[in-house]
Chains A and B, each alone.
Chain A
Amino acid sequence: MSAPVIAAEAPVVPPVATGRPAARRPRSTPYRAISWAVPVLLLVLWELLARAGAIATTVLPAPSTVLTTAWDLTRSGELPEHLLISLRRATAGLAIGATTGLVLGVVVGFSRLAEAFTDRTVQILRAIPFLAILPLVIVWFGVGEAGKVFLVALGTFFPLYLNTVLGIRQVDPKLLEMGRVIGLPKLQLVRAAILPGALPSILLGVRLSLTNAWLALVVAETVGAAAGIGFMATNAREFLQTDVIVLVIVLYALIGMITDLVARGLEHRLLAWHPNYVRR
């Protein structure tokens, strides 16, 4: 059970992020301002030290240099091109991994026979940290697109599969019984009780999948690629262009943040009924 996996562990608590900010009392201490001031000050300090020559450009470029580089690379069309390639890989991998994970999870969640056929095998496979098979992926696919998409799909599949099965299994049997007493047909029971009940768990799977997808993308692009923002960073390394490297790191972070925001927004919409989100 304690295999070192990046895929999802079974959530013990109701699988929803607590998105509600704690009620703030009117206080004189501007905690929020302080929490933002600190990173901004660090950034300013970094800028000043870099300009004064206290940090060598080959170690870390000034933030302003990174911005300038970003602008230059955007105007030359180089950055959008690589970014688009990276996003396309991520989207393709996500779409494939998420669809198979969700569909297989639903099938296994509903059918004991399907579970007997697949579940143990998947449980064994998930003991492998999916990034560990990267060398194998490179042998199989070379540095082409397929290998990267495959790795992203693999990283996406496991959390979604596991949390979908778990979510369906955890639906309150008392609610199902109520549905049967009322005489709901099987299909309506699935729509009314089973899928909505599994949804918090499925959405947790989506969030974990997104995290895995980015991890897979970064690793796959950095180790072997001829295009994409990871390739930009690797290429820049040859010429000690730290500004490009930092830019790529920042881009990875930004994309990760945006997807997480989208996922949280989705949870807010779809789980409006959940005790964590309901406005009383």
Chain B
Amino acid sequence: MTAAPVAAAAVRAAGISRAYGDRTVLHELDLEIHRGEFVALIGKSGCGKTTLLRALAGIDAVDGGTLRTPDVSTVVFQEHRLLPWWKVWRNVAIGLPRASARARAQSALEEVGLGTHADAWPVTLSGGEAQRVALARALVREPELLLLDEPFAALDALTRIRMHGLVRDLIARHRPAVLLVTHDVDEAILLADRVLTMREGRIAAAHPVDGTARTRGSAAFAALRTELLAELGVVEP
């Protein structure tokens, strides 16, 4: 790890801070995400996960520290944030060069299994479909960094499981660096290469996830799950 070439890091945050009034939310936080690495971030509600993600996305500035992120990064929020007055394909194509926009949107929609919904209005989509469109809108830009802020939190359990599979396939194909913020410890273990826990405005611990731990029901999975929950201060009965 010591001699990782500079080019291998997609995100490099060193000592970044952020305060709202006199409440410090990010406290000299360090974070590095490698190219093509999938990192999940878990932590108690209100511990600053969204604040960190918004800083990485360039939506909010940081008060101190240095932050390097790739040129092209995209975000999928908890809400789909589709423009209701544009058909699905235009939502995906938004901001793309005009000439190739329609074709690129169409193939992105096919990737998320919504090729037939290109001409639908967003209001006609289910929650899971809308979130898939948001995913297509993010991936069509070929981001080097994909930021996901609890994108599945509002979906029902079955849809969420299907989304996990889809996201895993898409990430494997496009290989952006990913930061997934989630409440769901299982989700973090199943999808990520590395799970980070956040506490008091800092990254508290990092847990690499190896092959067997990704199988739900395996002993490694259960052990990591218990460990992570304990770090978050949750003890299961």
Binding site for B on A (CB under 8 A): 174-175, 177-184, 188, 192-193, 196-197, 199, 271-275, 278, 280
Contact = CB atoms under 8 A, between A and B. Distances in A.
A278 B123 contact: yes
Contacts of B122: 273
Most interface-central of B58, B95, B137, B141 (chain A CB within 10 A): B95
7 contacts: A175-B83, A180-B59, A272-B121, A273-B123, A274-B85, A278-B123, A278-B124
B138 to A, nearest CB: 9
Contact of B94 (A177, A192, A196, A274): A192
A192 B82 CA distance: 11
Nearest to A200: B85
| A interface SS class | helix
A181 B74 contact: yes
B86 A177 contact: no
Contact of A278 (B74, B79, B121): B121
Contacts of A271: 85
B123 A181 contact: no
Q: How large is the interface on B (under 10, 10 to 19, 20 to 34, 35 or more residues)?
A: 20 to 34
Interface in B140-169: 141
Given A182-B94, A182-B141, A184-B95, A177 B59 contact: yes
Interface of B: 57-59, 74-75, 77, 79, 81, 83-86, 94-95, 121-124, 137, 141
Contacts of B137: 182
A148 to B, nearest CB: 37
A174 B79 contact: yes
B75 A181 contact: yes
A182 B81 CA distance: 12
A30 to B, nearest CB: 33
Contact of B83 (A183, A193, A275, A280): A193
Nearest to A182: B95
Given A184-B94, A273-B123, A196 B59 contact: no
B121 A196 contact: no
Contacts of A193: 83
A199 to B, nearest CB: 7
Contact of B57 (A181, A273, A274, A280): A181
Nearest to B134: A178
